[in-house]
Chains A and B, each alone.
Chain A
Amino acid sequence: MECCGPGYSSPQEAIKAPNEKLLYTIAIYTGTGIQKPDYLATVDVDPESPTYSQVIHRLEMPGIGDELHHMGWNACSSCHDDSSMSRKFLILPGVRSNNLHIVDTATDPRAPRLHKVVDGAEIKGKADLSGPHTVHCLGSEIIISFLGNAKGEAPGGYLQLDKDFNIIGRWENSMGNIKFGYDFWYQPRHNIMVSSEWAAPNTFMPGFDLEEVGHLKYGRELHFWDFEKKKPVESFYLGEDGLLPLEVKFHHNPDSTHGFCGAALSTNVIHWWKDDTGNWKWEKVIDVENEMHPEWPIPLPGVMSAILISMDDKYLYLNNWLHGDMRQYDISDPHNPVLTGQVFMGGLLGKAPKVNGVEVAGGPQMFQLSLDGKRLYVTTSLFSTWDNQFYPEIREKGGVMVQIDCDPVNGGMKINPDFMVNFGEEPNGPSRCHEARYPGGDCTSDIWL
Chain B
Amino acid sequence: MTKHTVTITNRSNTKYEVDSRRPLLDALREQGVDLPYGCKYGGCITCAAKLTDGKVDQKRQVALNNRQLSFGYVILCVARAKSDLTLEIGVESHDKLYRNPFLDPLKQHELKPDIATSEEI
Contacts and interface: CB of A to CB of B under 8 A. Distances in A.
Interface of A: 30-33, 35, 64-67, 96-98, 130, 150-152, 201-202, 205-212, 215, 217, 293, 295-300, 322, 384-385, 388-390, 392, 395
Interface string B24-40: 00000000001011110
Contacts of A35: 34, 36
Contacts of B102: 210, 293, 296-300, 322
B51 to A, nearest CB: 17
B74 to A, nearest CB: 13
Given A201-B43, A207-B45, A96 B38 contact: yes
Given A32-B91, A215-B115, A385 B37 contact: no
Contacts of A210: 101-102, 105
A209 B98 contact: no
A217 B115 contact: yes
Nearest to A295: B103
Given A30-B46, A31-B46, A389-B101, A209 B65 contact: yes
Contacts, number: 109
Nearest to A67: B38
A206 B45 contact: yes
Contacts of B62: 152, 202
B98 A215 contact: no
Sorted from nearest, which 6 A-B pairs have the closest CB atoms?
A: A96-B38, A33-B91, A210-B101, A206-B45, A206-B63, A205-B44
A30 B101 contact: no
19 contacts: A30-B38, A30-B46, A31-B91, A65-B36, A66-B38, A152-B44, A205-B39, A206-B45, A209-B106, A210-B105, A211-B108, A212-B111, A295-B103, A296-B100, A298-B101, A298-B105, A384-B46, A385-B98, A389-B98
Contacts of A297: 102-103, 105
Given A211-B101, A297-B105, A388-B94, A205 B41 contact: no
Nearest to A213: B101
Contacts of B94: 388
Contacts of B64: 206
A35 B106 CA distance: 31
A64 B68 CA distance: 25
A206 to B, nearest CB: 4
Contacts of A206: 43-45, 63-64
B119 interface: no
Contact of A205 (B63, B91, B99, B111): B63
Contacts of B34: 35
B92 interface: yes
Given A96-B46, A152-B43, A298-B102, A211 B111 contact: yes
A383 to B, nearest CB: 11
Contacts of A97: 38-39
Would you call the interface of chain A mostly helix, strand, loop, or mixed?
A: loop
Contacts of A31: 36, 46, 91
A237 to B, nearest CB: 21
Contacts of A390: 100
A33 B93 CA distance: 10
A389 B68 CA distance: 13
Contacts of A205: 38-39, 43-45, 63
B90 interface: yes
Contacts of A98: 39
B39 to A, nearest CB: 5
B113 to A, nearest CB: 12
A96 B63 CA distance: 13
A65 B102 CA distance: 28
Contact of A212 (B36, B38, B45, B112): B112
A66 B115 CA distance: 29
Interface in B52-90: 62-65, 90
A54 B115 CA distance: 47
A353 B41 CA distance: 38
A201 B91 contact: no
A293 B102 CA distance: 9
B79 to A, nearest CB: 15
